[in-house]
Amino acid sequence: MVGWVFPPSGKRVVYDEVILLQLKDGKVARQRGLSDNLTAACQLGILSTPPAYSKGKPPSQAL
């Protein structure tokens, strides 16, 4: 691992992402996005998943 760059793994991941667009005069004036990087990193094996969360409990109950 170099910085926050990880080598390709060939694994597929499923995670949520939200894209917000600010329109002005019918054109995109600003774009912002939010990705669930924690879920992706856990699926890739970069981070470990808390045991309770991996059993389907919400993160608030995983602690």
The reported pLDDT for the residue numbered 23 is: 97
| CA 21 to centroid of chain Cα atoms | 19
Between CA 28 and CA 17 the distance in angstroms is 18
Amino acid 1: pLDDT: 42
Strand 17-24 and strand 27-35: the pairing is: antiparallel
Mean pLDDT for 16-24 is 95
* Confidence band for 30, pLDDT divided at 50, 70 and 90: very high
Looking at the predicted structure, is the pLDDT value of residue 47 above 50?
A: yes
